[in-house]
Amino acid sequence: MQTAFREPEKTVLVHLAAGLGNIILATPMLLALSRSGFAVDLLVDGDYGETADLLRGWSALRAVYNGTAGERPPQSYELRIPALPPFYWSRFAADYSDPPRPADTLFYRDEQAYYLEFARRLGCEVEEPPYYFLPAAPDERNEITADTLVLAPGCKTGEMAAKRWPHFPCLAECFGDVVVVGTADDLHNFDGTPMRFPSHARSLVGRLSLRETADVMAAAGVVVANDSGLGHIAGAVGTPTILLFGPTPDATLGRLPPNVKVLRAGLACEPCWFGDRFGVCAGRVACMPLIEPATVAAAIAQIQNQVSALAPEEKAKMKRLPLVRIQSTR
């Protein structure tokens, strides 16, 4: 009796690094590799120590190693993908012997296409790439429901804080069920002044792990965030998400999923991040305050009305998963 020949599973180690957003934008590459029959091990050197936890338990990955915490794969690999942003490459170049990498210009033109190019070179089909994705199980333990508006008012500090929208507290006044997530630093504007939210807004700031924050946002009705790691997490877990952009570009991120809506003030000088940064407004970052709270509130109401009109089975599809199995990490 003949046994059908089965091609041996190909194992590849993918190395990701940099910020939360960068790593999330690389997930379509991970899906492309998995769907093409690769067994994918992942090494994560994230700016945030908990980044690797976001990807644990996902059936697209065989193993996840947290390089930031000193974890390293216990085996060697014939296939290794150093899918590192150009601005991170110098930190790890010595670990790789002249690997072929896409042109840096592709990264700054379409970041997701840059990562997908690594998969394409291994023979993966990427003509119709999947949307970015994170495994998350909606967590309603904090009374988060489909009526809850989650606000993520922060982003990285320093010059990156110029991306912070100053009107989150005003937006919170417009809705009854509001939850704020992030870290204590996230409650400060670019100029250092504190954000003061109304008393009815529930704060989970500093109380959740990164994975728990993802699960909370997965249970919410809508998330509003700056161009930030938490904003991209919200979009990646399937929740209707409004991302507020100003000085940074959104087109260079690549294709965003249909549950993500980008809002801008629309000034002629934006985005200025890769040009005369803050030059036209002399460092005031004039674009962010010009996004009116009423505009954002109207966008939220539109999403809520659209979701309310859906049949139950259509609502269920909103949280559809590229791969079925998500193992519990709790």
- One domain for residues 195 and 274: yes
- One domain for residues 189 and 270: yes
Residue 319: predicted pLDDT: 55
Q: What is the pLDDT of residues 60-89, one digit of tens each?
A: 999 999 999 999 999 889 899 999 999 999
User: How many Cβ atoms from other residues are within 10 Å of residue 74's Cβ?
Assistant: 7
Judge whether 322 and 294 are in contact, CB under 8 Å. Answer: no
- One domain for residues 183 and 233: yes
User: How many Cβ atoms from other residues are within 10 Å of residue 292's Cβ?
Assistant: 14
**What does the alpha-carbon distance between residue 194 and residue 200 come to, in Å, rounded to a whole number?**
17
- One domain for residues 82 and 160: no
Residues whose CB is less than 8 angstroms from the CB of residue 184 and which lie 6 or more positions away in sequence, other chains included = 205, 206
Residue 155: predicted pLDDT: 95
- One domain for residues 109 and 166: no
3 state SS for 278-310: CCCCCCCCCCCCCCCHHHHHHHHHHHHHHHHCC
Judge whether 230 and 213 are in contact, CB under 8 Å. Answer: yes
Among 104, 120, 136, the domain boundary falls at 120
Whether 137 maps to a domain, the answer reads no
CATH number at residue 310: 3.40.50.2000
Identify the CA nearest to 164 among candidates 216, 214, 241, 231.
Answer: 231
Residue 306: predicted pLDDT: 86
pTM of structure:
0.91
Whether 132 maps to a domain, the answer reads no
Whether 133 maps to a domain, the answer reads no
Whether 329 maps to a domain, the answer reads no
- One domain for residues 80 and 154: no
- One domain for residues 193 and 45: no
CATH number at residue 56: 3.40.50
Residue 328: predicted pLDDT: 38
Domain count, the chain: 2
Whether 310 maps to a domain, the answer reads yes
- One domain for residues 109 and 32: yes
Per-residue pLDDT in tens (0 to 9) along the chain, 330 residues = 444 433 447 999 999 999 999 999 999 999 999 999 999 999 999 999 999 999 999 999 999 999 999 999 998 898 999 999 999 999 999 999 877 899 999 999 999 999 999 999 999 999 889 999 999 988 878 899 999 999 999 999 999 999 999 999 999 999 999 999 999 999 999 999 999 999 999 999 999 999 999 999 999 999 999 999 999 999 999 999 999 999 999 999 999 999 999 999 999 999 999 999 999 999 989 999 999 999 999 999 999 988 877 777 766 656 544 443 334 333
Is 72 buried (19+), middle (13-18) or exposed (0-12) by CB count in 10 A? exposed
Judge whether 55 and 44 are in contact, CB under 8 Å. Answer: yes
Q: What is the pLDDT of residues 28-54, one digit of tens each?
A: 999 999 999 999 999 999 999 999 999
| Pairing mode, strands 202-203 and 222-226 | unpaired
Residue 112 structural domain: 10-120
Whether 136 maps to a domain, the answer reads no
- One domain for residues 63 and 189: no
Whether 257 maps to a domain, the answer reads yes
- One domain for residues 204 and 79: no
- One domain for residues 234 and 288: yes
